[in-house]
Amino acid sequence: MKIKIPKLTFWSSVFWIIVALGIYSTILRFTKGLGAVTNLSDEFPWGLWIGFDVLCGVGLAAGGFVIAAAVYIFNLEEYKSILPSAILTAFLGYLLVIIALLFDLGKPWNIWHPIIMWNPESVMFEVAWCVMLYTTVLALEFSPFIFQKFKLEKPQKIIKSLTIPLVVAGVILSTLHQSSLGSLYLIVPEKLYPIWYSSNLPYLFFLSAVAVGPAMVTIESYLSSRAFKREIEIHILSKLAKVTAVALMVYLVLKIQDIIKYNLFSYIFTLNYEAIMFWIEFAFGVILPIILLANSRIRSSKKGLFIAQLITVLGFILNRLNVSITALENYTQANYFPKWTEITVTLFMVALGFALFRFIAKHLPIFPPEVSEKRKLLTEGFEVISIKEVFKEQT
Amino acid sequence: MKYGILIDITRCIGCYACEEACAQRWGNPITEAHKLSSIQNTAVIDYNGVYVSRLCMHCEKPTCASACPVGAFQKTSLGPVIYDPSKCLGCRYCMQACPFDIPKYQWDKLNPKVTKCDMCYERIKAGNVPACVEACPAEARTFGKRDELIEEAKRRINENPETYYPHIFGLKEAGGTSVLYLADRPMQKLGFKANLPEVPLSLFTEQIMSKIPGYIFWGGTLLFGIWWITKRRDEVQRLQRKLKEMEENNKKENGK
Ligand code: SF4
Ligand code: SF4
Ligand code: SF4
């Protein structure tokens, strides 16, 4: 008898190794407690899981509200083709943030407590509500694809009639949420290293999320175009790149304002760990993407755009890790570095995200049929709509 | 009436009786660590021969209570800030937020609690003094009404100006605390942070939190407004196109 050994490609073996290690760490986490799987301590209560899984996870999901606002609120129809995948990413992002929270919370079974135990003064309370409500909104925004697949017309109609209120709620909730993750740190002015403390933290977090949302959409389009062998909507993505560039420019202005307002020159021009981390973040995460994305040649090349936006994303991740980890090292003197089990859980979350996206994209109509030249012209406003169509849409 | 504890560092002889009394009250093991932890709610720390007691400051406007999403911390009317583990979800924002780094965590437990001094709330409710105060043989810890403790501290400073550094730590720090300190030097030289603001730290988040209802209202209105305008614009454009097409059709027909 012949036994067929399934061929393992490089990435899928990486994937299964991560899953195995992730499951091992998960078991450890829920049988031995936080102390056994993390390097967290009384001095350093928040580590990689908050810094990456939550802060970055939420930020990287920002594509959902940026594109939804563009399509429905600003009526920019041309972005419609990437909306489903942006919403799916956001939804999966939030789901994974919730799963990551179940790992990080000391008493995960109490995660629902903010629903009935209120402390409206607390930023964390706001964060909790935003996560709950926005995940629900994203689920509803995404549900039409499931209804479509199973041909459920009635619920599809109901959701469709709710589109605008849902999108408005989604935009409000996610702007609140993106910024409130920054507000979390407003309460520790004496602990955060001065380079990163600013009363503008909520706005800085919001702006970088607006910048990184389109960047994530771009990366995901690029990767899925390779995985699913489809064309990239480069004309859309290069327009989105402008959104990133503009958001980063505003960010840059605010950050420079902070440097002047808080007189940070002596901090950023000394040679220490914090200053070096700041400059890496600032040069590679803000200035370099602005330069690259302002260049129309790069914007219109698939690879160039992909690399530029990848740099934006990496810079964003570094920024969140700097605020949540680097900025606290000096005060706490804890020398925190994540334990390997913390890292495997984080990788596990990322891998799960990829796998879920792939699975759903395969089975649901996330990617619309490729845009034909005719449609493209239409979205650019060159083609005239036939009278019949006008009447059809109005009645 | 708000109670508090006045800690006179110049009187402490470093006998650790308070640590032991506190451990007993909580049923914790006695350790030699002399460091705040999940099994030590008060610690006497040796700063080159100066013994500095640490415990929760029982802030007048506690940062921990402001930060906690579920209100597990509560400033009681008697003064103590108490913690309810049945509400807590273990986000540890309180630990991150507390300006005195007081809350500690049971990292090795599967159902972990935040731990800190509760000023022996049960005891003072029953009219007793906190265990550590009772145990102190040197009267380095005095329990009483906060106002009276402040008077007492002032009296000590005035009567022995050469012994004391003329500052009551806790009078204003972080918006004022129920635990007050007297020492022969600034507390910043005894392990307390130098850059503590004199306002409650919750002020920094309040400023932004208070903007949220307005943001939801105006943001929502604005978004609906933009949606309505862009929709109108599209409709108008569509009608214009329709008109143009009709005209062209007419022309074509006329031209025939
Ligand atoms: S010292 Fe810290 S734990 Fe104690 S009441 Fe103040 S903020 Fe809360
Ligand atoms: S860890 Fe518990 S007590 Fe502390 S802020 Fe979170 S929910 Fe509140
Ligand atoms: S007041 Fe009670 S809980 Fe607080 S340190 Fe003293 S003995 Fe411990």
pTM, to two decimals:
0.90
Question: What residues of B are in contact with residue A117 (Cβ under 8 Å)?
Answer: 70-71, 87
Mean pLDDT of all residues belonging to chain A: 89
Answer whether A42 touches B (CB < 8 Å): yes
Compute the average pLDDT of residues B155-178. 95
User: Given an 8 Å threshold on Cβ–Cβ distance, is A176 in contact with B233?
Assistant: no
Pocket test for ligand 1, best of B42, B82, B100, B177 (most atoms within 8 A of CB): B100
Task: Quote the CA–CA distance of A29 and A51 in Å, as a whole number.
Answer: 18
pLDDT in tens, A280-322: 999 999 999 999 999 989 998 989 999 999 999 999 999 999 9
Where does the pLDDT of residue A379 fall: very low under 50, low under 70, confident under 90, or very high at 90 and above? very low
* Residues within 8 A of A (CB atoms), B 204-243 only: 204-209, 212, 215-216, 219-220, 223-224, 226-227, 230-231, 233-234, 238-239, 241-242
Predicted ipTM of the assembly = 0.90
Give CB contacts under 8 A, 24+ apart, made by A154-163. Answer: A163/A72
Per-residue model confidence (pLDDT) at position A230? 77
Q: Ligand 1 atom closest to Cα of B103? A: 3
> Which residue on chain A is closest to B101 by alpha carbon?
A43
User: Given an 8 Å threshold on Cβ–Cβ distance, is B93 in contact with A124?
Assistant: yes
- Residue A370: what are its φ and ψ, rounded to 5°? -60, 145
Q: In this structure, which amino acid lies at residue A114?
A: P
Contact A85, A219 (CB under 8 A): no
Where does the pLDDT of residue B177 fall: very low under 50, low under 70, confident under 90, or very high at 90 and above? very high
Q: Is B58 in the pocket of ligand 1 (CB under 6 A)?
A: yes
Answer whether B95 touches A (CB < 8 Å): yes
DSSP output for A19-45: HHHHHHHHHHHHHH-HHHH----SS--
Pairing of strands B3-8, B179-182: parallel
Per-residue model confidence (pLDDT) at position B14? 93
Q: In this structure, which amino acid lies at residue A44?
A: F
- Residue A342: what are its φ and ψ, rounded to 5°? -65, -45
Task: Quote the CA–CA distance of B21 and B23 in Å, as a whole number.
Answer: 6
**Cα distance from N-terminal residue to C-terminal residue, chain B:** 99
Where does the pLDDT of residue A394 fall: very low under 50, low under 70, confident under 90, or very high at 90 and above? very low
Compute the average pLDDT of residues B59-88. 97
On the CB side of A131, how many CA atoms lie within 13 Å of its CA? 27
pLDDT in tens, B184-197: 999 999 999 888 99
Give every CB contact of residue A93 below 8 A, 6+ residues apart in sequence: A57, A58, A60, A61, A64, A353
Q: Is B131 in the pocket of ligand 3 (CB under 6 A)?
A: yes
Closest residue to A172, CB basis, from B87, B109, B216:
B216
Where does the pLDDT of residue A154 fall: very low under 50, low under 70, confident under 90, or very high at 90 and above? confident
DSSP output for chain B: --EEEEEEGGG-----HHHHHHHHHHTPPP-S--S-BTTBSSEEEEETTEEEEE----BSS-HHHHH-TT--EEE-TTS-EEE-TTT-----HHHHH-TT---EE-TT-SS--EE---TTHHHHHTT---HHHHH-TT--EEEEEHHHHHHHHHHHHHH-TTTS-S--BTSSGGG-BSEEEE-SS-GGGGT--TT--SS-THHHHHHHHTTHHHHHHHHHHHHHHHHHHHHHHHHHHHHHHHHHHHHHHHHHHHH-
User: Given an 8 Å threshold on Cβ–Cβ distance, is A106 in contact with B89?
Assistant: yes
Q: In this structure, which amino acid lies at residue B39?
A: I
Answer whether B101 touches A (CB < 8 Å): yes
**Cα distance from N-terminal residue to C-terminal residue, chain A:** 66
Contact B69, A128 (CB under 8 A): yes
CA distance A8 to chain B (A): 38
B237, two tokens: 């454009």
Question: What residues of B are in contact with residue A118 (Cβ under 8 Å)?
Answer: 70-71
Nearest to A93 by CA among A131, A133, A146: A131
Per-residue model confidence (pLDDT) at position B249? 87
Pairing of strands B81-83, B73-75: antiparallel
